[in-house]
Structure 1
């Protein structure tokens, strides 16, 4: 199979988001999920303070099949567009950014399915099953490769061995998509394994200062038996999957900004103490405080608007709004998908950081008390923003706009060779 054919198979009608003939309205989707989001918000601060992983909250969402948002209505899902998904994720992230983040790998997986694969996976996902991620390693594997291996057995099935880190969401999920190397093959492969299978050990050892409850820790695979049907060999140069990955993170950031300014406003309304250098008014009447609230509110609103616009453009790029899904030119599809989310990635993190830092301008020294945990907004936003660093996104956008340099599809991380050789 040529590489172009391999790429094209990833962009068929199985994953065209939204079912225009039968999809639910955004209002109807919120009628389903807003009560669950409200339950998720309860106890979110305590969970962060005590490092209580949100297994229960994740289960509530799965009971309502939140993971089936982008599965077409005709296949048992909600048929939601990416714009609708982004809007829901923003509100969920405002309730608990950890829980919203967990769905990143799952939604990206759905975006990668071919028609044949969707016949297998749509029924599972429509039934409430979810897919986690195990791609990144701490070993010295070269950029674009994996130290985790898939070795074929005499019977034609496979054996999976290796250790992954940053396994976001896998500890909560039914399935894990594992990036691995087949000896003798240059391209990376993916194994789909049940998280409960023998030989799999999931460890909550993520030591980041933010997004501490996402299960982003170590996963060991020791002699895991993998059926041949569960091994995916994919060309990773052009895909909409990466754009969906990034859109989820952007929605999480916008949700954090919403939660931060909402909390700041709540505290300003109830604040009675002031400074002798201020205007002498209580905070809710102080013109300087009110001006700052307005500035931060505008930045949070701008972050939300930018994310939703990126989602609309992504929907249009893959044909939801009736446009050509560009299946005959995979790189053109990649460019059309990557550009709007890259634009958003360049500006949204800074807006969100301004909001999560600026809320302290509204309050006094008591705002830094550990009991309030207001620092969680900045910590979580800063952690999310480290995915696909902004400086690289800005350069890639500039290079594409000026020189027409194709944008990247699937991302990779690893050791860079001394020669400076890059993954193409």
Structure 2
């Protein structure tokens, strides 16, 4: 398969690429250059993740005093916007890692996270094993994966689905149940015996995220790599980070659409005989359509960064040891509102793009359909109508927002 040209250093001990740094700009540019080839299956996504590792992006939020880039939470979401504009698969792959780091930064007083954070500082990436199929309600936290005692250690068995990114990572935190009924998080290595990460994701979009199946068959787990979830750090709204992250990816795709629209009109040399102007760039209808797309991208970006600013304040309070509950609730509310509107704007924009491009925009070589497919796939992770209903019930009746998964 193809490779990616980049001036990024191959030395993984190099300083982490920080916000606004030339190294970060180089990374984003290199990922954008290979996006279409990866979507066609002509380039390997492992090459892209190798660039991510070379830039030490996994420690983007780790303090500079500990070898990280020291980025704020809003700066992380700005990075997600940039990465999503370049290739939406890449930030989606990294979502579970960044979510893990956020948890670790708040829970570094626990010995398990101290151990696991050292892996992060060693430029290793963490994935997640959480979702399962079955009759249980989606997101209720239950499942059939089991962790059985085995002498002074444990054995893990079960199957997880929607295992985004695990194929490219080093470690997986797996949600499992003990014989006594307690739920735990267990760390395993992606490459140890009994761990089978399958690249069987067949979604219409986000095709390179490896969001498929991970099977654990009698996998050895060290005792100090098990954390009882009742002992874990809790937040008022546990899932806001991940939900806003997905909406930010959608906003980044919308930014790409707005720029693709400009390029399409600029490159068109002829117009329809019954058009308002013979030259597409002078056609007020096309100008209006491009203006609408530019405006939609602006509003989407503003919405997610507004929510990220509040979430950043909330996370800062948690890291300081005094979580501000009202800030977390406000961040969850703003994130939910952003999703309801941004998903709709982006899906409409993915279709509107073809209005400005003409019939040639539908050619497979252009791959402009990937934008709509990717948006539709990401938005389906948590349908907006459920978010809108919860927002409305909160506004009308004062009913609190859900506090478990998806909020």
1:241 deviation in Å?
Answer: 4.5
**Corresponding residue number in structure 1 for 2:20:** 27
CA–CA distance in structure 2, aligned partners of residues 43 and 145 of structure 1: 39
Asked whether the 8 Å contact 2:270–2:278 carries over to 1, the reply is no
Map 1:124-143 to 2 at 5 A. 124-141=119-136, 143=140
**Corresponding residue number in structure 1 for 2:152:** 156
1:310 deviation in Å?
Answer: 0.9
Map 1:5-20 to 2 at 5 A. none
Residue 257 (structure 2) pairs with residue 297 (structure 1): no
Range with greater deviation from structure 2 (104-113 or 325-334): 325-334
CA–CA distance in structure 2, aligned partners of residues 239 and 190 of structure 1: 19
CA–CA distance in structure 2, aligned partners of residues 45 and 217 of structure 1: 22
**Corresponding residue number in structure 1 for 2:272:** 275
Residue 181 (structure 2) pairs with residue 193 (structure 1): no
1:280 deviation in Å?
Answer: 3.3
Asked whether the 8 Å contact 1:52–1:213 carries over to 2, the reply is no
Alignment gaps of 5+ in structure 1: 1-22, 413-423
Asked whether the 8 Å contact 1:243–1:341 carries over to 2, the reply is yes
CA–CA distance in structure 1, aligned partners of residues 183 and 404 of structure 2: 11
In structure 2, the CA distance between the partners of 1:371 and 1:69, relative to structure 1 (3 Å rule), is same
Asked whether the 8 Å contact 1:98–1:213 carries over to 2, the reply is yes
**Corresponding residue number in structure 2 for 1:168:** 164
1:325 deviation in Å?
Answer: 7.2
1:77 aligned residue (68, 73, 87): 68
CA–CA distance in structure 2, aligned partners of residues 246 and 212 of structure 1: 20
In structure 2, the CA distance between the partners of 1:213 and 1:329, relative to structure 1 (3 Å rule), is closer
Asked whether the 8 Å contact 1:69–1:80 carries over to 2, the reply is yes
Map 1:340-419 to 2 at 5 A. 340-411=334-405
1:253 deviation in Å?
Answer: 0.7
Question: CA RMSD of the aligned region, Å?
Answer: 2.4
CA–CA distance in structure 2, aligned partners of residues 223 and 139 of structure 1: 21
1:52 deviation in Å?
Answer: 4.9
CA–CA distance in structure 2, aligned partners of residues 325 and 160 of structure 1: 31
In structure 2, the CA distance between the partners of 1:219 and 1:326, relative to structure 1 (3 Å rule), is same
Map 1:40-189 to 2 at 5 A. 40-50=31-41, 52-113=43-104, 114-115=107-108, 116=110, 117-141=112-136, 143-153=140-150, 155-185=151-181, 188-189=183-184
CA–CA distance in structure 2, aligned partners of residues 400 and 325 of structure 1: 28
1:264 aligned residue (261, 264, 270): 261
1:311 deviation in Å?
Answer: 0.6
1:93 deviation in Å?
Answer: 0.9
Structure 1 length-normalised TM: 0.84
User: Which one has more relative contact order, counting CA pairs under 8 Å at least 6 apart?
Assistant: 1
Q: How many residues align?
A: 384
Structure 2 length-normalised TM: 0.88
CA–CA distance in structure 1, aligned partners of residues 166 and 145 of structure 2: 16
